[in-house]
Structure 1
Amino acid sequence: MSARPGKAALFEQLAADGITHMFGNPGTVEQGFLDLADGSATRYVLTLHESVAVAMADGYARAGARPGLVQLHSGVGLGNAIGMLYQARRGGSPLVALAGEAGVRYDAMDAQMAADLVAMAEPVTKYATRVVHPASLLRVVRRAVKIAMTPPRGPVLVVLPADVLDQETEEPAVAAGVPSTRVVPEPDAIEWAADALLAGDRPLVLMGDGVAVSGAQRQLTEVAELLGAPVWGVNSSEVNFDTTHPLFAGNLGHMFGADSARVVADADPVLIVGTYVFPEVFPELAAPFRPGARIVHIDADAYEIGKNFPVGVGLAADPAPTLAALAGRLRARGREPRRGTRTPPENGTRTPPRADGQAAPRTMTDRFAAELAAQAPPGLAVFDEALTCSPALTRWLPPRVPGTYFQTRGGSLGVGIPGALGVKLARPELTVVGFTGDGGSMYTIQALWTAARYAIDAKFVVCDNGRYRLLDHNIERYWRDRAIEPHAYPDAFDLSRPRIRFTELAGSLGVPAVRVAEPEQVADAVRAMLGHRGPFLVDLVTD
């Protein structure tokens, strides 16, 4: 291979790995390689804050099941990105973050912007490293792509000193090899799992996003039906199980362990697939499972199996083929599928208004979601960050088809708008609508500027109640648990003084918008949103 500067070889490597988008916010120490970006096969997507760049890459990686590339500017840029990198780490998103710095030659100087970027990133990444010689630049980038994409997936960081990128390298650019982890446990282990799952009389399934990563939705459904077990989502932010299936019981909370404990207290056996237990902010310290309950845990991440509570059978393996093998053993033991009694809707993707005998919508969020279900074309995808509005959204737009529903995960606010943009870039054939709250949206509202700059045809709905409503709910629980008499919510939860004028704010960033404050405005607003070519925002005043 002929010698060329590392910064040129870097773009060759990105092209070899099929990476077509780079989300970033530029800085001086990256100017050398960004000077070559416009002529490369990798499109640079400019954002106005690093959290927007990471959240867009996160949505892109989740929807496209491929690496999301991020460019960060030195220590200050990485610092701005940490919260969203945490989100990606918790959610297992395969991000590759490239952070620029001034150069190896300046290590001893403790100069402006000097920082240990690897140490900063280690708590929120799967792997973090620094390139110190041009002859290893491309091998390190390939390694980063491989590690990000190998289950359990996660974000990685590669620090790129400017002086290393300026030096020449003869290293060839070839595609990174991602090893297959599509492994199945040995037959005896499958037999042990089948023994455990057939032993009890109150079966329960707990499932999470490892199911979606594996593409194991069909296999999980078959096993659940063979067991006749209710299925609960745990850290389930994608379509891991058809939520209209009669066996779908709901999602466990993300805040209080006592809620999960009530669900699992009498279960035996318990099958855990593609998730860790339990992902609450305040988890139970004592094992919530019934004494003697038989627990089988299947996950690609061996670390998560038995991490907090003992399991009887732990299978560190890919969920899809493992569940298929398990279903075969259950059938061989004479089990027949049992679907339960709830009848799913017939339309295959969305529940129309008044489906399943539910009452006409009452709240503004219900009305909007029902109208969106009625008007949206096939191929609707929802990115849901508006957690206090999620029950209404999923009631009228139940997640059914893999790759069409994405929810926030990891706890970082502000992922709704940029996440929807990333989904749209990865899956342009989908109609993408991102739901966020008024508080959460303001963490990354400048993402609207990026949407306008690149005419990204995603839609956004701000559920605008003038408060951090989720904090209201959580403090009510706090008061009950501590026998505190209810009283006025803390003034810190209020967002109404002054009221954020989202239509004007969106317009200033180049995105047309409409405010919906009355029920009779809903239908026209949905029609305008879906009919507009390009980004569009609805400021939905909610109850």
Structure 2
Amino acid sequence: MSARPGKAALFEQFAADGITHMFGNPGTVEQGFLDLVDRSGMQYVLALHESVAVGMADGFARASQGPAVVQLHSGVGLGNGIGMLYQAKRGGSPLVTLVGEAGVRYSAMDAQMAADLVAMAEPVTKYATRVVDPSSVLRELRRAVKIAMTPPRGPVMVALPADVLDQVTTEPAVPTSVPSFRTAPAPKETARAAELLLEGSSPLILMGDGVAASGAQRELTAVAERLGAPVWGVNSSEVNFDATHPLYRGQLGHMFGDDSARVVQDADAVLIVGTYVFPEVFPRLASPFRKDARLVHIDADAYEIAKNFPVDLGLAADPRLTLEALAQELDRRGAVPAATGPAVRTGQRQPDTPMDHFARELAAQADTGRLAVFDEALTASGALLRHLPPRIPGTFFQTRGGSLGVGIPGALGVKLARPGLDVVGFTGDGGSMYTIQALWTAARHGIDAKFVICNNRRYRLLDHNIDQYRRELGIQPHAYPEAFDLTRPEIRFTELAASLGVPAVRVEKPEQAAGAVRRLLAHDGPFLVDLVTE
């Protein structure tokens, strides 16, 4: 391999790994390798804030099931992206985050923007490193990609000093070797799992995004049907189980442990797959399971198994292969799929909220076979899921990790990764303002994603949460804090979107929903709907 600067070899490595996009916000210390990006064949997707860049990469990685590259500017840019990197870590998104710095030679100077980038990134990444020698630039990149793509997947950070990239390297650019972790448990362990699960008379399944990561949706369905077990989503933000299946019961709450406890308290045989229990902000410290309940936990990530509560059997293995073997073992033991009947749905009256009107129209007018939804609607999500329940893997993505603002950039990333899909991102008025600059990126690059801002003029989720907080402490209801209010001044989203190059329409009445959906679907390019939900 001929000698060339590390900054040029960088793009050769991306090409060898089939990486086509870089999401970023440029800075002076990265100017050396960014000067080559236009000639590299890579598409640089410009964001006006680092959290937008990370959010787009998150959506891209989730939709493509491959690594996504993010470029951040030194310590200040990394700092701006920390919240979204935390979300990517919690959600298992394989992001390769490149952070520039002035140079190794300046390390002792404590100069402007100097920071320990590795120490900053470690809490929110799976792996963080700093390249200090030009002969290892590509080696470090391949290691980063491998670690990001190895279960449990997650974001990594590579600090790139400018003076290291300016030096020459003769390293060859070759595809990254990502080892296979498709492992199945020993037959006797599968038999033990079947035995434990069949001992109970009231089985239950708790599932999460590890199912989608391994492509185990069909196998999970087979096991659920043989056990006749209701299925609940826990750390679940993708299509892990068909939401219209009769055994699907919904999502557990992600805020208070008592919500989950009420669901699991009567189960005497529990299968946990692809998630840890439980991810609430205020979890129960004591186990919510019955003392005589048999617990079987399957996950590719051994750390998550029995992390918080003991289990009877933990299987650190690939969910798809393990569930496939478990279904076969259940068959051998005579557990045939039971007649499950129609899907359980609470309430018979058709809801009539503004969000219901809009979601109903979207379901009626869109080609749902090619429609993808990125859902950060939070308090309005229930209405969305009533009319567009997640069914097809790879077409539904929900916010995860607690970071606000991923709805718009996440939808952009999904559209870039899956251009054949019609992508609609739902977010709230408060959440959208964390990353509203992403609309400019949509307009600049002509990304044909659509956006719906569910506008209730406040941080409504905080209203709900403080209601429960007051009930638990016996505090009498009273006015909500002024800090939750977003009406003074009111945010004019249609004007804001127009100023960023995206046409928009405001929906204030139910009868306006049908026309707004028609405009959204027919428009060639990004389009926004300001949907007044209260």
TM bucket normalised to smaller = over 0.9
State how 1:289-328 maps to structure 2 within 5 Å. Answer: 289-328=289-328
Would you say how many aligned residue pairs link Structure 1 and Structure 2?
Answer: 533
Contact 1:455–1:535 (Cα < 8 Å) also in 2: yes
Residue 293 of structure 1 deviates from its aligned partner by: 1.0
Give yes or no for contact 2:185–2:322 (8 Å, CA) kept in 1. Answer: yes
For 1:464 and 1:335, the matched residues in 2 are separated by 48
Contact preservation (8 Å) 1:361, 1:370: no
TM-score by length of 1: 0.97
Give the equivalent residue in structure 2 for 1:465: 456
Divergent runs of 4+, >3 A = 355-361
Read off the aligned partner of 2:315 and give its amino acid letter. Answer: L
In the aligned structure 1, how far is the partner of 2:236 from the partner of 2:149?
20
Paired letter, 1:120: M
Q: 2-side partners of 1:528 and 1:45: how far apart?
A: 26
Question: Shift in Å at residue 393 of structure 1?
Answer: 0.3
What is the aligned partner in structure 1 of residue 124 from structure 2? 124
CA distance in 1 between partners of 2:109 and 2:486 (Å): 45
Secondary structure at 1:53 match in 2: helix
Tell me, in whole angstroms, the C-alpha distance in 2 between the residues paired with 1:512 and 1:227: 50
| Partners of 2:247 and 2:343 within 8 A in 1 | no
Q: Are the counterparts in 2 of residues 247 and 339 from structure 1 also a CA contact under 8 Å?
A: no
- Residue among 389, 392, 397 paired with 1:401: 392
In structure 1, the partner of 2:217 is 217
Deviation per CA, 1:277-325: give whole Å up to 9, x if none: 0000000000110002110000000000011000100000000010000
**Is the 2:248–2:343 contact (alpha carbons within 8 Å) kept by the matching residues of 1?**
no
* Contact 2:130–2:159 under 8 Å retained in 1: yes
- Do the aligned partners of 2:94 and 2:154 also contact (CA within 8 Å) in 1? yes
C-alpha distance after superposition, 1:480-530 (max 9, x if no partner): 111110000000000011000000000000000000001111110000000
Report how far residue 68 of structure 1 moved: 1.1
Give the corresponding residue for 1:74: 74
Structure 2 length as normaliser, TM-score? 0.99
Report the AA paired with residue 363 of structure 2.
A
Match of 1:373 among 350, 363, 375: 363
Task: Say yes or no: does 1:255 pair with 2:246.
Answer: no
Q: Distance in 2 between matches of 1:338 and 1:443?
A: 47
Aligned-residue offset at 1:191: 1.0
Instruction: Give CA-to-partner distance per residue, 1:111-131, whole Å, 9 cap, x none.
Output: 111100000000000000000
Any residues of structure 2 matched to 1:203-214 within 5 Å, and which? Answer: 203-214=203-214
Per-residue CA deviation, residues 158-177 of structure 1 (Å, 9 max, x unaligned), is 00000000000000000101
| Residues 441-477 of structure 1: per-residue CA shift (max 9 Å, x gap) | 0000000000000010000000001000000000000
Tell me the secondary structure at the aligned position of residue 198 of structure 1.
helix
Counterpart in the other structure of 2:484 = 493
Taking only the aligned residue pairs, the percentage that are identical comes to: 76
Q: Offset of 1:358 from its aligned partner?
A: 4.9
* Structure 1 residue aligned with 2:179: 179
CA distance in 1 between counterparts of 2:284 and 2:346 reads 35
Which amino acid is the alignment partner of residue 373 of structure 1?
A
**Mapped partners of 1:249, 1:342: distance in 2:** 12
Q: Could you tell me which amino acid in structure 2 is paired with residue 69 of structure 1?
A: V
Instruction: State the match for 1:350 in structure 2.
Output: none
User: Using the alignment, how far apart are the partners of 2:200 and 2:30 within structure 1?
Assistant: 59
Could you tell me whether the CA contact under 8 Å between 1:200 and 1:294 is conserved in 2? yes
Is residue 239–residue 404 contact of structure 1 (8 Å, CA) maintained in 2? yes
In structure 2, how many angstroms separate the alpha carbons of the residues matched to 1:361 and 1:331? 41
From 431, 439, 458, the equivalent of 2:430 is: 439
- Cα distance in 2 for partners of 1:80, 1:178 equals 30
Give the superposition deviation at 1:266.
Answer: 1.4
Secondary structure, aligned partner of 2:199:
coil
- What's 2:278 paired with? 278
- Match for residue 349 of structure 1? none
In structure 2, the residue corresponding to 1:242 is in which secondary structure?
Answer: coil
What is the deviation of 1:42? Answer: 1.4
String of CA shifts for 1:416-449, please: whole Å, max 9, x gaps.
0000000000000000000000000000000000
Per-residue CA distance 1:104-147 (angstroms, 9 max, x = gap): 00111111111000000000000000000000000000000000
1:39-438 matches, within 5 Å, as 39-343=39-343, 358-377=348-367, 378-438=369-429
1:33 aligns with 2:33: yes
Residue type matched to 2:455 in 1?
A: D
Gaps of at least 5 residues in structure 2 are none
**Take 1:147 and 1:8, find their aligned partners in 2: how far apart are those partners?**
23
Listed one character per residue, the Cα deviations across residues 217-266 of structure 1 (whole Å, up to 9, x for unaligned) are 00000000000000000011000000110000111000000110111111
Contact 1:296/1:311 (<8 A) preserved: yes
